[in-house]
Each structure stands twice: as structure tokens, then as C-alpha cells.
Structure 1
Amino acid sequence: MTGSVTPLERSLEPGAARATPLDALRLAQETLLAGETLDMGALAAQLGLSRATLYRWVGSKERLLGEVLWSLAADAMDAAVDDARGSGPDFVAEVIERYMNAALGFEPLWRFVARDPEYALKVIASRHSPMQRRSIAAVHRVLEQQASAGAIEPALALDSLAYLIVRIVESFLYTDVITGGEPDVGAARDAVRALLSAPRA
């Protein structure tokens, strides 16, 4: 044997394991799924970090929660895309319908919203939210695929359409927080279909 120590050997030494930003995401996911409030001090202690290091990793509690929510929503969006049928405006509208129905059935999301609706909406739907930013990116990919296939002829730039569709989803999914009404998946689906069927100016 040589006297050199490999990175693997160093990692296997007792006490050598070091937390990473992905560990922070994983523990925050577990907290949300358990229906508990995310405490940044407790999270830092679990990771063996100072609060300053944790905040340097994640930016803020709101940004971490936004990443957690999207990490849990991403599979639902992928499944909606995989399961939707057809093409064009009907396809995109069905993706949105399936995604919203999955969200409505995801209890950890609604426990989080019920605890502090205004704060939850800030985490989910503000322009600084990773949840909104990643949602827009996911919808943009769907639109880009449909446009490349010639299945839609967008009347607006895809960036603008993706943003509008996400805002439609937010408006009809979180209606109870915004206006006190009931979520309306059908209205969101129809609005998305109408938006994508609009003729070019």
C-alpha cells in the first residue's frame, strides 16, 4: 500500500462527513412533509452549521422553502407532461389540469398554506420565488416543445406565455387565499386553452 490517502478513504474516516446544501434541502423537505414549521436555527443545528453558513447556502428561509416546494412539485409536472394526450393547446391545457389536480391532492402543500396563507403565497407566487421561477421554466419547456413541433402558433413570446400560464395556475389554484373563493381547475384549463388558441395579431 502507498502512503497516500484517497478522497474516498478520507470520506470514510469517523467524523469526516460534511453537510452540503443538498442536505439542507433534504431536511427541509422532510420538515415540510411532516407538516412541521421550518426553523432555520434548528435546521442549522441538525446540519452542524452556523446559521450564517446555512443562510449563505440557501439565501433565505423563503428561498429555501420555494426550492423545497418545487422539488416536490417537479415530479407532478413531469407526470402531467407524460400522461397528457394529443398536442397543441389541448395538450398544454391538459398538462395544466393534471398538474393542478395533483397539487390539490398534495396535503403537505395545503398544510403549509393553511398555517400562514399570506406568507405561503409570498413563498409560492412572488416574482423572487424559486417556485414561480422554476414553474415558469417548466411551462416554457412544454410550450417550446409544442411550438417546435408546429402544434401551437404562439401569439406572444414564449417567455410571456409561460409567465401568464403560471399566473393563471396560481390565481385559480390559490383562489381561497387571494379572493376567498374555491380553486377552479376547469377554469384554469379553459383559460390556458383560450390563451394558446388566440390568433396572432
Structure 2
Amino acid sequence: MAAVAGHEDTRTRLLATALKLFTEHGVEGTSLQMIADELGVTKAAVYYHFKTKDEITEAVVEPGLRELESIVAAAARQRRPGARIDHLLAGFVDVVVRHRALVALFSGDPGVARALEKHFFRKESFMTGMMTILTGPDPDAARVVAVHAALGGIALAGGAQELARFSDDVLRESLLDVGRKLLGRPRRRPAVPS
């Protein structure tokens, strides 16, 4: 049991180190040797867990994508279309805020784009489900563009270095507000103190 825990701990540390180096140098600018050196292990130890940098990149993006899949599934179970949209929007914003460093890589790094294509975009039903919830049935061009602007804008802003100074709570509320406006959802009313 301790060997499994040690294996998972090393793997977790390896992925955290890879994300840090990817953020600093990009996926293309980070070598397996750099990851090994930063971890203080041999390159063979890295190979024990992952055979290629692409495998590491896919493993780095996997948790956030699994969260999104779960959010889309939960949103689809909501009864009302507005509730489905609100659930998906709030969940998407939460994932973006929680994974800021990774989201920053999504928009500009070709290595992450490859991992997304292999893992995320091949799951056509997942993307279709997400878009169907947000656009509704038979959307017009304006609605499709609004949904793409909302998702793309939230992701770009959430990963923007210029916004790193904002707390998670401030960023989350601001992104939700923008997303609601773009998707035509009513603003949340602040809770009235009793």
C-alpha cells in the first residue's frame, strides 16, 4: 500500500512540476530532462510514469476536463433550460478560476492545444452537449456567436496574467457577471442581510 501511495505522490509531484515548467517555458520549451531535474530525479524515473511529453501534457489537462464533463452531465439533468445554462456557466467559471495556470496555457500553447484535441475535442458528444445546453435548440447565428464569445472570453480572461492580481472570489464573480450578460441571463441578486 505504501508503494502505491509513493507512486501516486511522485506522479502528482511530477504533474505539478510539469505544469509549473509548462507555464514558465511552454510545453514545447520544456523537456523531460528539465522536469526530471526540477523534481530531483532521473529521466528514467519520469519515463517510469510517462513515456512522452504528450502523455504528461494530457495528464496535466485531464483533471480539469473531467470536471467539465461532470458539470455538463449535471447541467443536462436540470429541468429548466435556464437552470441548465446557469449550472453550466457557474461550473465552467469555477473550473477556469480553479485551474488558472492551466487555462492560461490553453489559449497560447500548441502543445496543450494538441492534448486538448486528442482528449477533449474527440469527445464530440461532450462538446455537442455543452453547446446544446448553452445555445438551445435551433439557435440563430447571434446565439452561437454569443456562446462562443462567452466561453472563449471567460477562458481567456480567467487565464490572463493581467488578472492574476484578483482573488479567486473577485475573478469568479466578474466572470460570472460577464458570462450572464453575454448569454442573456438575469443578474444574480445579492443576498439581503436579515
Q: TM (normalized to structure 2)?
A: 0.50
The aligned counterpart of 2:25 is none
Of 164, 181, 197, the match for 2:149: 164
Question: Which segments of 5 or more consecutive residues in structure 2 lack a partner in the other structure?
Answer: 1-9, 22-30, 37-41, 186-194
- Mapped contact 1:97–1:189 kept (Cα < 8 A): yes
Secondary structure of 2:141's partner?
coil
Label 1:64 to 1:76 Cα distance change in 2 as closer, same or farther (>3 A).
same
Of 166, 176, 179, the match for 1:192: 179
Of 52, 55, 58, the match for 1:54: 52
- Mapped contact 2:154–2:175 kept (Cα < 8 A): yes
Higher helix share: 2
- Matched to 2:154, the amino acid is V
The aligned counterpart of 1:3 is none
Structure 1 position 146, deviation (Å): 5.4
Equivalence map 1:1-201=2 (5 Å): 31-33=14-16, 40-41=32-33, 42=36, 45-46=44-45, 47=47, 54=52, 58=54, 64-65=56-57, 67-84=58-75, 85-88=78-81, 91-102=84-95, 104-105=97-98, 109=99, 113=101, 123-126=105-108, 128=110, 129-130=112-113, 141-144=129-132, 147=135, 150=137, 153-156=139-142, 158=144, 160=145, 163-175=148-160, 177-182=161-166, 183=168, 184-197=171-184
Number of aligned residues: 147
- Mapped contact 1:92–1:192 kept (Cα < 8 A): no
Distance (Å, rounded) in 2 between the aligned partners of 1:121 and 1:190: 19
Secondary structure of 1:69's partner?
helix
Structure 1 position 144, deviation (Å): 2.9
Distance (Å, rounded) in 1 between the aligned partners of 2:61 and 2:19: 18
Secondary structure of 1:153's partner?
coil
Aligned-CA RMSD value: 4.3
**Aligned residues: percent identity?**
8
Question: Which segments of 5 or more consecutive residues in structure 1 lack a partner in the other structure?
Answer: 1-26, 114-119
Distance (Å, rounded) in 1 between the aligned partners of 2:94 and 2:156: 14
